[in-house]
Structure 1
Amino acid sequence: MNSCTTLSLTEIRNLKHTEFEPLRLDPAIETNNLRIDLLRQTEEERVNDSTVTTEDTPYHPLGFDLGNGLFYDLNDNLSFRIDELLGITNEDCWSVERLDGRRQRRADCVWTLCGDTLTLNYPSGRRERYIHHGVHDGATTLVKSRNRLLYAVDFNGGQTVYRYRTRKLDVIEKAGENEYSVRGGFRREYFRLQGNRLLLNRGYSIELSDRNQKIRIIQSGWLGSRVMLTMEKSGNFLYLYDRNYHGQKLESGDGCVTVFRDGRLQTRWRRIR
């Protein structure tokens, strides 16, 4: 990709803005890993004495819904939830195909959720692959692979617990008005919603400003603060860009979400059932 290619500056400057919804901070789970990355954490993995590779940090199923389709998980990954963008969050049965921008003629994979069972199919001819299924037991959601428990999430009033069997791995607790603490291992972190500003982990904050027409994702540290991404919306179009106007444009409508990066088609997600 040409590093000089950016989003259309003229298009962004001439937007007829659509207001964003208010920010929120609600404990939630996203179990299907259907997300569009905005901030993806990475970690180093040593292959041998002389080789270190960088891998994406896995998604965590537990986190917070932030409003406007945004989800921040407990591994500090910020994403759009595809099920929210497609409007299928509360539907019991659906199929979504993904088309890679390099191969636009047919989907490279299809996710199907029906009866709380998630499967993945590759149209190249391989058999449909079972991923997992969910079991709902009162205020508890168990996610299993066949008969093996992968994890469970308990929603108990002011406490949300992510666990394996009886072992608590991460706990979200209500700490005050629009405030939560997160405990996991030896860590304790705090997440707050203060007016139009969300305070997250790792120095991240999200601000709704300019008469609700812009969302800014900010990271603060010892050397000050910097705006990592700015979001603006116009009708079915959503723009996300850095200070150099590199970024993504999302187009939503008719059961489809199309993602362009720096003016080029990257991915298309489409509901087919």
Structure 2
Amino acid sequence: MSYGDLRAVDGVTFDVAEGEFFGILGPNGAGKTTTLEIAEGLRKPDAGSVSLLGQPAWPRNVDLLPRIGVQLQASAFFEKLTAREQLETFGSLYGVRSARVDEMLELVGLTDKADTQEAKLSGGQRQRLSIACALVHDPDIVFLDEPTAALDPQARRNLWDVLREVQSKGKTIVYTTHYLDEAEVLCDRVAIMDNGKILAMDAPARLVRDLDAATRVFLERGALSVETARNLPGADSVTEDELSLVISTRTAAPLLAALAESGTLDGLQVRTATLEDVFLDLTGREYRA
């Protein structure tokens, strides 16, 4: 998929299993949203094809609409309608009963805002309303484009519970996010994209394991001298800053045993590699506009 000279999506291929929680990750401009829009049937690919629930996603397939839910990055609502009225309007397109609207308001924590006009909701509340609109007709597949953007930490964690509940009912979720800790917790598999290509795709735990990154052990500054730390079994490298002494190791067990024997476990922290380390290793650390 190209926009002029920019190739936004370049030879991307993936399958998503029924009931799977699949994440698409990547820096700004990686092609995540375009990939999602092609999968949803909102954009015609320049080449290739998309099969959605066994049917072609393009040309726009009206038979698929009751079976998919879509939450776009930029949501548009009907003016002057309350949260409940927004959901009732979306639901009426699919013959949804009023009780289902109440269920969705409760699911996304907006019951107390049911009679509030959408324009008077906070950014996070509008985001949750958008997700409720995508779910109100009980679709088989839900596409969510950065669903937790603009949410505070508490609301973000609450939405994780919502998404887990949706998946527990056998639904398939395909989403994009910039929150790598979130993807690591929620996703069965992730695809990491950059420059329109998929660089890696697997379960988060496997991607982290394949990185073979060092474990870092943090001690309070002054707990050990740098020289002593360098002579500990398993210590590969040692650095020190104003707050911490950091020991990198690929054999953590003998190192931790030696620290325990020397009585220097107070304040110790152990940090293993995460999906963020995989992401940065694949896409680099330079600033993306």
TM class, shorter-chain normalised? under 0.3
More helix by share: 2
More strand by share: 1
When the two structures are superposed, what TM-score results if normalisation uses the length of structure 2?
A: 0.25
When the two structures are superposed, what TM-score results if normalisation uses the length of structure 1?
A: 0.26
Q: Pick 1 or 2: higher relative contact order, CA cutoff 8 A, min separation 6.
A: 2
